[in-house]
Structure 1
Amino acid sequence: MSISFFWSRAFLTNRFMLWLFFWCNLVGTIYGYMWYGEQMEYTIANYAIWQVIFVPDSPTASLFFTIAILFLLYPPKSQALKGFSLLMESLAVVTSVKYGIWAVSIIFAGAAQGDHLVWQDWMLVASHLTMAIEALLFVRFFRFGAIMVIPAAAWTFLNDIVDYTYGVYPWLPDELRDDILNVQNFTLGLTAFSVLLAWLVLRMTKRKTI
């Protein structure tokens, strides 16, 4: 058996694997929202309540991917649900790549400036790298086209703008608190990179524009 079988359509999209991806991402999403629980409570208490939506970046990306996998398991029948599924797919790819890379980069940037990494940090590195990798693996099997990258880009850039305009970005290691401008610029650049990568992958796989 060739090693390429393990990232083939036959392997990744059989129902056992799809259910495995679904439950792993659902559990990760729930854990992620719990991880952000303290910051979400702080945001509700000290900021406009609508801003809390933009706090748990990675869990929301994982939620998009979980929903996208569910639509692979149960393809939508109505036009409204089909449109919603395409939006979830595009959001899943752009945000999973963006926040997967972002979290790992921030962890190691903090470590480079003296932050001591503990086992939770390594767990976050592994889980966030997995987010980015699985999004790139599954983009081949999703049905969204290049046009749907636009709302995904709009949402992700809006998230960045709200985060760094109102100060509701994910809490950073203490070592990076004097580097907020650099983190902001990196975050915006990473959003642009993730959007471009999604578009390029779609072009490479010759998907039809919808």
Structure 2
Amino acid sequence: MLWLLFIVNALGTVYGYIWYGQQMEYTVETQALWQIIFVPDSPTASLFFTLSLLFLLFPRLAKSGPIGIAVRSLIEALGVVTSIKYGIWAVTMIMAGGAQGDHLEWEHYMLVVSHLGMAIEAVLFVRYMVFGRFMAFMALLWLLLNDTIDYTYYVFPWLPDVLDDDLSAIQLFTIGLSAFSLLVTWLLISFRKV
């Protein structure tokens, strides 16, 4: 089961980076090169979660000393917190676009299902991970940095045209969702078996 989940997440990550290909090319051509890392939000979240699955598949990686545990904890925290956030964010933006008249195609519905899956698997797998509240907070700092770069330099994921006039509300929602994702993660950690 874990191998299947790993393969699905790995393929989804690759697909996500391909999906962002045009925006990444545009960013390289029109923005500072360092901003490229802040463009592909969902695939990067999926990448962190996919790497987290490797720790579950190969438990010996978890016993690689304090530095290895710290790296594992940070990757797992990023995998969970970012997957919750971007899973919910993508579904919300697709549905908001559809509600305002954006024509939804089969690919939109596939993205809804896959992003819901991101959020759900993150919630379900917290109990098997080693990270704590501090690393989850570090993941929040990454999200807030990403949010700041996204809306300062306009490298946030491309939105349907019908949402252009809602950008201020989307920015507030995005930042609020970062905090919400941390709170959900902290709550899940509280109920995790020690």
TM > 0.5 fold call: yes
Which residue does the alignment assign to 1:78? 64
Work out the CA distance in 2 between the residues paired with 1:185 and 1:203: 27
| Cα deviation code 1:129-154 (max 9, x no counterpart) | 00000000000111111111121011
Q: 1:64 aligns with which of 40, 48, 51?
A: 48
Which residue does the alignment assign to 1:138? 125
Query: TM-score, length-normalised on structure 1?
Result: 0.89
Q: 1:151 aligns with which of 138, 148, 163?
A: 138
Which residue does the alignment assign to 1:28? 12
Work out the CA distance in 2 between the residues paired with 1:21 and 1:180: 34
**1:177 matched to 2:164:** yes
**Partner amino acid, structure 2, of 1:152:** A
**Partner amino acid, structure 2, of 1:193:** F
SS of 2:101's partner is coil
Identity %: 60
Which structure is higher in helix share? 2
Which residue does the alignment assign to 2:115? 128
| Offset at residue 206 of structure 1 (A) | 5.3
Q: 2:35 aligns with which of 47, 51, 66?
A: 51
* Structural RMSD (CA): 0.9
SS of 2:128's partner is coil
Matched positions, count = 191
Q: Retained in 1: the 8 A contact 2:48–2:78?
A: yes
Q: Retained in 1: the 8 A contact 2:80–2:185?
A: yes
Q: 1:186 aligns with which of 157, 173, 191?
A: 173
SS of 2:127's partner is coil
Whichever of the two has the greater Rg, that structure is 1
Q: Please identify runs of 4+ aligned residues in structure 1 that moved more than 4 A.
A: none
- Worse overlay, 30-39 or 198-207: 198-207
What 5-or-longer segments of structure 2 have no aligned partner? none
Work out the CA distance in 2 between the residues paired with 1:40 and 1:133: 27
Which residue does the alignment assign to 2:3? 19
Q: Retained in 1: the 8 A contact 2:127–2:193?
A: no
SS of 1:139's partner is helix
**Partner amino acid, structure 2, of 1:20:** L
Work out the CA distance in 1 between the residues paired with 2:192 and 2:69: 20
| Offset at residue 190 of structure 1 (A) | 0.5
| Cα deviation code 1:5-62 (max 9, x no counterpart) | xxxxxxxxxxxx1111111000000000000000000001100101000000000000
**Partner amino acid, structure 1, of 2:49:** F
